[in-house]
Amino acid sequence: MSATETLLTQILTQLESLRANQERLEAKIENTRTHGTPPLRPVTQLRERGGESPSVYPVGDGHASSPTTSVPHLSLSSSTPSAASQSLGQEKEREKALYPSRVILTTYPDQHGIKPYSLQWGAKDARARGPIICSRLMSSIKQRNAIGAHAGSYSIYRALAIAQGTLDPFHKPSYHLTEPPVPIPPQESWFDPTKIVSFDPWGHLVPQVFRSEVEDKGLDIRPSIAVTKAHIKLSEVDETARKGALTIDGKIVLKSRPLLNPDGSQSNADPGVELVVSKAAVEPVWYLPGVAERFGIPESLLRRALFEDTGGMYPELITRPDIKVFLPPIGNLTVYIFGPPEFMYDESKELTLRVHDECNGSDVFGSDICTCKPYLVFAIEECVRTAQRGGVGVCVYFRKEGRALGEVTKYLVYNLRKRGGDSADKYFKSTEQIAGVKDMRFQALMPDVLHWLGIKKIDNMISMSDMKYNAIVQSGIPILKRYDLPDYLIPPDSRVEIDAKIAAGYFTSGKKITEEDLVKTVGRAWEEADH
């Protein structure tokens, strides 16, 4: 036997010994963590119950694969491990430190040791309702009563931060001094399990109402709502104030601080105004039975659709029918309140509402192909005027980019429209040709936030959307008046959008538009503008 072969044999013998020791150690760790949890039932038993077969064996099964037991890369050119081998070994050690147990692909209701924290959606107080627990940390994993992760799509960034070593996965947040500076107190609608099904109404009070569960029991329970105060500044509102169409009252509308010149000296230019607001960021937390009922579909179908169309990302949607709460990987919503927040649930006060769905191109970058930013600014100004009359204004901003089709699809539709002749009669057909549907913004869940705020009637709704109007009214909140965007605020190129919507049945206080009229409304072609 050559020296190289002898060396290889010795290395392989040592590796086999190390692997055996490692497997024994992992078994001990797993036994300690699970307090003697026996293996889960075989997959054949699951099939006999009519359940879904997992793609790999669940944790605890003797055949489960472990990412920490693979044989390291061998270099036969030298008896000293290469730099690459050392680096790989270090990464493996870090992986083992972060995730010492076997992969937990899924769990089952009757698994030994699994005992979800009691949750009664719509209960009369927070403690009776119970906290939302979705953490997979070992301190909470057996008491989880929710599927998914906090922060929606941003949970992927958290995973990257942990993998890179910039975030300790066991970090315990300190919520000292983070409580809401303005009250959003419990409303009767919080205790009706049919009124709020798309987020946790107690989400902003978690550090206060579930303190003992966090501090005494060590459970990882996190807020899903945050409430704060701010000043907002928009150049369009500055211009409205300069024209005298918005009053500077020193309470809701403030004069901005003086501007500075490039040399640091104070400028004589008009600095414009700032608006005082209260605002809340709300993460989605879906109570699946309530969401299914809202859409008129079986809960089992909802779960299967969510599982399939997220690429099987959340297998517990199938294997854990006992867990009724899901934190979906979608964007959140933000509420902006102009005037005293307590006026929202005072029916004697005038209330103006705008429900606005995200449009990054227009809202942020001012694209003139749609009316989104003009409508949003107009609504903000109307909310301010209502507050100045002694009422309150509310703007709710949903992350539903491109009618919930996404920005990529929206831009593809733009290309088709501009190349195919951008006339209003083709507006919705262009979207359907690419996306298969003209609008995916199902508004059935939208009124939840209004019930959370305690809104019982709306004096003025700034919207053309019948879908939004119908969803709100059908949820039990009357709307006394609705009005659309004034013609003088509509950019010429977005007339295509407005006329197409009016012809399709959207609300308008102006003239009606027929299908024959739509052919005459044509947007700017690419050739007419510099690109």
Please identify every residue annotated as catalytic. Answer: 439, 441
Q: Which of 92, 385, 419 minimizes the C-alpha distance to 247?
A: 385
Judge whether 388 and 394 are in contact, CB under 8 Å: no
Q: How far is CA 525 from CA 369, 418, 520, 530, 531, in A?
A: 11, 6, 14, 11, 11
Judge whether 465 and 507 are in contact, CB under 8 Å: yes
- 3-class SS of residue 255: strand
The sheet that has 146-148: what strands, in order across it? Answer: 146-148, 325-327, 286-287
The DSSP-derived string for 51-63 is -PPPSSPPTT-TT
- What would you measure as the largest C-alpha separation in the chain, in angstroms? 96
Rounded CA gap, 276 and 383, in Å?
Answer: 12
β partners of residue 356 = 397
Buried b (16+ CB within 10 A) or exposed e, 3-15: eeeeeeeeeeeee
Cα radius of gyration rounded to whole Å, the chain? 29
Q: Which residue has the tokens 């694209």?
A: 367
Q: Which residue has the tokens 């944790």?
A: 59
Structure tokens that stand for 7 in this block = 């060396």
Strand 286-287 relative to strand 325-327, pairing = antiparallel
Q: How far is CA 27 from CA 32, 99, 111, 381, in A?
A: 8, 14, 18, 64
Structure tokens that stand for 141 in this block = 């994993």
